[in-house]
Amino acid sequence: MSTTVSEMHGCPLVDSLGQRVLHVPRGRWAAVLGALRADGFEVCADLTAADYLRHPGRTLPDGVVAERFEVVANLLSVSGQGRLRARTQVPEADPSVASVFGLYPGTEAMEREVWDMFGIAFDGHPDLTRILMPEDWDGHPLRKDFAQGRIPVQFKGAPS
């Protein structure tokens, strides 16, 4: 359960189980993360995504419209000894968001992984190519509607 406690850079800031979570509009993603970097959040410790296809009714602050996908960045301020999670909603019809590689060069592989697994494009990324799956792989395996498939297991000595 999260409750709105204030705003930061014009975005709702909530407390979620003791952690500060900033809900950033998708169109302001790079600008707000740039402002957070200037505020002293010098490390992006993690950047990932979630597919809420089967959980559309999750709790979000007033004014934040739930979309199928969400990109999440966990920021760290070494100098200020603080953490902040930034979340942005990404629609299924246009699964893209601005890259933050120019602000946090360590996100290069993280954004590629999100692209590979979820199909969320990062506009402005220098090399948005597959990183985990083969180049000719069709689809994005962590999407909730991706067919799991089946690989038959062969046992030594078992009749074929």
- State yes or no: pLDDT of 69 exceeds 60: yes
Q: Name the residue among 38, 128, 43, 29 with its Cα closest to residue 87.
A: 29
- The more confidently predicted of residues 10 and 56 is 10
pLDDT for the residue 133: 93
- Give the domain ranges of the chain: 2-97
pLDDT per residue as tens digits for the range 125-134: 999 999 999 9
The side-by-side arrangement of strands in the sheet containing 11-16 is 2-8, 11-16, 19-23, 82-90, 69-77, 43-51
C-alpha distance across the termini of the chain, in Å: 53
pLDDT for the residue 147: 79
pLDDT per residue as tens digits for the range 25-62: 999 999 999 999 999 999 999 999 999 998 878 889 99
Superfamily of domain 2-97: NADH:ubiquinone oxidoreductase Nqo5 subunit (3.30.460.80)
pLDDT for the residue 56: 76
